[in-house]
Amino acid sequence: MSCFCLRPKRTSSQEKVFEEHKKKVAQENGKRLGLKDDDDLQFLLAGTKLIKIRSKSWQKSRYFSLMEDCRTILYSSKKLFKKDQTFLIDDIESVRKGRQTEGLQKYTDPSEEEMCFSIMFKGHNKCLDFMADSKEEADRWVSSLQKLINHVDNLNKKQKREHWFISCMRKADKNKDNKLTLKELKHLLRHVNIEVNDTYAEEIFKKCDTSNSGTLEDLEIEEFYNHLTKREEVDVIYAKYAETQGEMSAGDLLNFLLNEQREQATMESALKLIEKYELDEAAKQKKHMTKDGFIMYLNQEDGSIFNPAHSLVYQDMSQPLNHYFISSSHNTYLMEDQLKGPSSTEGYVNALMKSCRCVELDCWDGPNGEPVIYHGYTLTSKVLFKDVIRAIKDYAFKTSQYPVILSLENHCTVEQQKLMAHHLINILGSALVRKPLGDTMPTNLPSPEELKGKFLVKGKRLNKLDAVFSNNNTVEEETVSEEDEAADCKENSQKAKSKKSKIKLATELSDIVIYCKSVHFGGFEHAKDNQSFYEMSSLKESKALQLADTSATAFIHHNMDKLTRIYPAGSRTDSSNYNPVPLWNVGCQIVALNFQTHTKEMQLNQGRFRPNGFCGYILKPAFQRSLSSQFNPQSLTNGPWLQKKILHVMVISAQQLPKVNKDKEKSIVDPLVKVEIQGVAADNAKKMTNHIENNGFNPMWNEKFEFPISVPELALLLFVVEDYDTASQNDHIGQYCLPLTSVQNGYRQVPLLTKKGVSIPSAGLFVHIMLMDQQ
């Protein structure tokens, strides 16, 4: 996140012209962002001094300001020859007011709370901590940055691409004269990830240099941009349907929506799209859609592969908890690996902000009588239990209102367990479920809707739940069998004890375990005869995958009225993940993954939970909830689950793919696209395009694939874009995953995300999708 700014020597008059030019550029970019003459934007452009805080001793004053591109914050060091530092507005995840990070809590005084704020970055475990001169200045920075972030986020895809291109052009314009020479043009082409030979570059340059001045400026640069971003594939589609004076009438658009997009469209919906996306007022008056309006439609949510109706909570949320897949995290406190990585409250913040609804707390005795959380028998750092609970309370319901399960792995002595219960009750207050809902003993789990804004504790309990409704609810502190995962932890540390080892359990902690009582799994028949609806088991991945393979139907029936949690094997010391799909296939609700490890498995998890408002709960298919169901994902028979389809995928093109190696200007990607189905075993398949040499800007494939699908309700569609390499493993460029049930047919734009699940603003794939019944 740094660059070296060479400051050319300028005379005072040249400096004045240069500053006026910067001001004009800032005004243009502010207007593009919808912030023309905005006071908050002007505040950021002017900038102020802030104290940057790294430690108790490293707290230094730096001048921070927004650059004229309105997308980059720059700050300078006082040291001679020290690089100026920059970071992009696009990279900011959030701005936190006050002392909300571990750094500010450690290195500043509580009296300085109102002068502090932090900037958190997407996809990184990084933040910048600041102290302003006053509360008012801190408030202004926070509100101004939040406003700018919101405006940047709300740009449509076309505007983001234009803004990205203009930023690239500014970087190519070495002497900052707002003109492009042929040399600068070649530099720009490499910067936007496209390699062309010198002859072609000269040809483009001459074509656009209508003034014959030897440079491109103003309208000539606009013409160059239009030439470079021309979408021949879109031109062909538009021309096919634009049958009214060279434009699409509402009727033409309706034909396109019905015939190509296979939508249940009406004339009214076609008119709404014209009103929403057409920018030309004259065309809008005629109820026409121009090519620019059509491109705008394709680049927005209506033209996305992801059904926009599924971006909101659309499923029935009134069914019992066990009827849902629940987004779940393992070792939530870890930021890296589970041998020596740091533990942090930020792990919980990151997971909860991604709508994770089940987090793990690995609890151990700490110094000064205070329980701590860390990965036992390892060198991972420790974090106070009470600090974790405070962080969970602050961030649990920012992205989803549905309940959060606190999965306790308890290794503490009775005294520290009592303190754990005290912190849970005091910090979470009325949001903590401490007794069953209603006045009588329930017969099934409550629904996500009934538990909105609530916390459930998963752990050991000393007695049955119905004891809550009897007068005799006093239980002396006694021993219970240790949690399966805790026993595994000991086993993997080579300090193995019997898995039936006992721990003493404090009544206070036992009493706040209501709907998620941990019990040992003794087999499906044993569970059927002995396990109550509120009792749940945790299974190691290997055991769970074996059961999914050999006893799939029994596993599905077990999960129809009970919760099951799956966790990664302790041998995964690098915090890698297992494939969650086979376990979702048998109805396991809490399939816990290492959220800090950005692998394909986490991309599948993000795809699974993308629909339903990204709320962390997905209603399982009916055949995984009905007691009469005989569904077996390993051996498909006739039933409501069998809906044989053919998925046709045509990978047409990509736009503005990012460089893999940003440090090497001449490094241009050779992109290829992998298309994969993950679902029941019969549906799993992967296809791949050829690679396109030296073009990450507008590569075109036009390659068709077919995938037979048997159980579409469990299938996930995954796109992965890679940079082809003959000598080594391909580099990852971008990915996107979603359930097949949320895919829109027709010509669609596929947004691309980084490995860490962060949106790449300017990039995307253009595909044609058709899901049809098998003949």
485-543 pLDDT per residue, tens: 655 655 555 444 444 577 899 999 999 999 999 999 999 999 999 999 999 999 999 99
d(CA 499, CA 487): 5
Residue 288 bridge partners (DSSP): 249
Pairing mode of beta strands 328-329, 590-593: parallel
Mean per-residue pLDDT over the chain, rounded: 89
Q: What six digits make up the tokens of 435?
A: 């007794």
Cα 178 to chain centroid, rounded: 37
- The DSSP string of 245-285 is TTBEEHHHHHHHHHHTS-----HHHHHHHHHHH---HHHHH
Phi/psi of residue 629, nearest 5 degrees:
-70, 140
Same domain, 362 and 457: yes
CA atoms 649, 655, 661, 665: torsion sign: positive
CA distance 470 to 480: 22
Give residue 287's pLDDT: 96
Q: Judge whether 671 and 731 are in contact, CB under 8 Å.
A: no
287-342, pLDDT tens digit by residue?
999 998 999 999 899 999 999 999 999 999 999 999 999 999 999 888 776 666 68
pLDDT tens for 94-116 read: 999 999 888 898 899 999 999 99
Phi/psi of residue 771, nearest 5 degrees: -105, 115
Same domain? 442 vs 393: yes
Residue 4 within a domain: no
206 or 352: which leads in pLDDT? 352
DSSP lists the bridge partners of residue 671 as 723
Beta bridge partners of 591: 566
Is position 6 within any domain? no
**Considering only CA atoms, which of 438, 446, 435 is closest in space to residue 319?**
446
Q: Cα(584)–Cα(25) distance, rounded to whole angstroms? A: 52
CA distance 96 to 641: 46
Taking residues 68-82, report their average pLDDT.
76
Question: Are 600 and 690 members of one domain?
Answer: no
Could you tell me which residues are annotated as the binding site for substrate? Answer: 52-79, 458, 460, 538, 565
Higher pLDDT, 191 or 756: 756
What pLDDT sits at residue 689?
98
Is residue 100 located within the same domain as residue 139?
yes
Is residue 589 domain-shared with residue 726, that is, in the same domain?
A: no
Tokens (6 digits) for 169: 């052009």
* Percent of the chain's residues with pLDDT above 90: 65
Distance CA 331, CA 350 (A): 13
Higher per-residue confidence, 509 vs 469: 509
Residue 761's pLDDT band (boundaries 50, 70, 90)?
Answer: confident
The position carrying tokens 């736009």 is 655
Q: How many helices (H) and strands (E) does the chain have?
A: 23, 31
Q: Which helix (H) or strand (E) holds 462?
A: none
Find the catalytic residue in 375, 423, 598, 768.
Answer: 375
Give the pLDDT band (50/70/90) at residue 478: low
272 and 382 inside one domain: no
- For the cut 60, the answer to whether the pLDDT of residue 4 exceeds it is no
Strand 478-481 to 383-384 pairing: unpaired
The backbone region for 245, taken as left when phi is positive above 0, alpha when psi lies in -120 to 50, beta otherwise, is: left
Domain boundary among 624, 653, 668: 624
Q: Which DSSP state fits 414? A: H
Q: Which residues make up each annotated binding site for Ca(2+)? A: 331, 360, 362, 409, 668, 670, 694, 723-725
Polymer length in residues for the chain = 775
pLDDT tens string 666-677: 678 999 999 999
Same structural domain, 704 and 579: no
Q: Are residues 407 and 355 in the same domain?
A: yes
Taking CB atoms within 8 Å and a gap of at least 24, the contacts of 623-628 are: 623/713, 624/556, 624/559, 624/560, 624/587, 625/319, 625/323, 625/560, 626/560, 627/557, 627/560
* Torsional class of 579: left (φ above 0), alpha (ψ -120 to 50), beta (otherwise): beta
CATH number at residue 375: 3.20.20.190
Same domain, 437 and 545: yes
Torsion of Cα atoms, 497 then 536 then 524 then 567, to 10°: -60
pLDDT of residue 8 exceeding 70, the answer is: no
SS (H, E, C) 507-537: HHHHCCCCCEEECCCCCHHHHHHHCCCCEEE
Q: Is the pLDDT of residue 571 over 60?
A: yes
Distance CA 413, CA 127 (A): 35
Instruction: Give the domain CATH number at 165.
Output: 1.10.238.10
DSSP string, 656-691: -PPPS-TT-TT----EEEEEEEESSGGG-EEEEPPP
Report the DSSP pairing between strands 700-709 and 685-688.
unpaired
Backbone angles phi, psi at 447, to 5 degrees: -95, 160
Maximum CA pair distance of the chain?
95
Residue 149 has pLDDT above 60, yes or no: yes
Same domain, 691 and 678: yes
Instruction: Pick the more confident residue, 540 or 182.
Output: 540
Do 379 and 516 belong together in one domain?
A: yes
**Closest among 447, 414, 454 to 431, alpha carbons compared:** 454
Answer yes or no: is 534 within a domain: yes
Q: Is 375 a catalytic residue?
A: yes
Q: Are residues 134 and 177 in the same domain?
A: no
Pick 4 or 307 by higher pLDDT.
307
626-654 pLDDT tens trace: 999 999 999 999 999 999 999 999 999 99
Q: Give the pLDDT confidence of 412-439 residue by residue, as tens digits.
A: 999 999 999 999 999 999 999 999 999 8
Asked whether residue 3 is domain-assigned, the answer is: no
Is 768 designated active site? no
CA distance 343 to 338: 9
Structural element, H or E, at residue 652: strand 645-655
Residue 119 in this model has a pLDDT that exceeds 60: yes
Does the residue 637 lie in any domain? no
Q: Tens digits of per-residue pLDDT, 696-714?
A: 989 999 999 999 999 999 9
Segment 393-397 shows an average pLDDT of: 96
Question: Does some domain include residue 638?
Answer: no
pLDDT on residue 665: 57
DSSP class per residue in 61-108: EEEEEE-TTSSEEEEE-SSTTPPPEEEEGGGEEEEEESS-SHHHHHHS
Q: What is the C-alpha separation between 621 and 585, in angstroms, rounded?
A: 10
Measure the CA–CA gap between 265 and 261, rounded to whole angstroms: 9
Edge-to-edge strand order for the sheet containing 685-688? 685-688, 671-678, 716-723, 731-739, 746-753, 759-773, 645-655, 700-709
Strands 700-709 and 645-655: antiparallel
* CATH classification of the domain holding 661: 2.60.40.150
Region of residue 612 (phi > 0: left; psi between -120 and 50: alpha; otherwise: beta): left
CB atoms within 10 A of CB 247: 21
pLDDT number for residue 497: 44
Q: Which structural domain, as residue segments, surrounds residue 129?
A: 12-154
* Phi, psi values for residue 458, rounded to 5°: -105, 125
- Look at residue 366 and tell me whether its pLDDT is greater than 90: yes
pLDDT, mean of residues 343-367: 93
Secondary structure string (H, E, C) spanning 533-573: CCEEEEEEHHHHHHHHHHCHHHHHHHCCCCCEEEECCCCCC
Q: Which of 595, 624, 653 is the last residue of a domain?
A: 624
Tokens standing for 506? 């404090």
Adjacent-strand bridge partners of 244: 247
Q: What distance in Å separates the CA atoms of residue 768 and residue 676, rounded to the nearest whole number?
A: 15
Q: Is the pLDDT of residue 344 over 60?
A: yes
Q: Which residues contact 380 (CB under 8 A, 6 or more apart)?
A: 334, 338, 339, 340, 341, 342, 343, 374
Residue labelled with tokens 């970019």: 29
- Which tokens belong to 470? 């009897």
In a domain, residue 718? The reply is: yes
Q: How many structural domains is the chain composed of?
A: 5
User: What 3-state DSSP class applies to 398?
Assistant: coil
Residue from 178, 154, 179 nearest 68 by CA: 178
Q: Which of 242, 271, 303 is the last residue of a domain?
A: 303
Is 635 domain-assigned?
no
- Structure token pair of residue 540: 């190691």
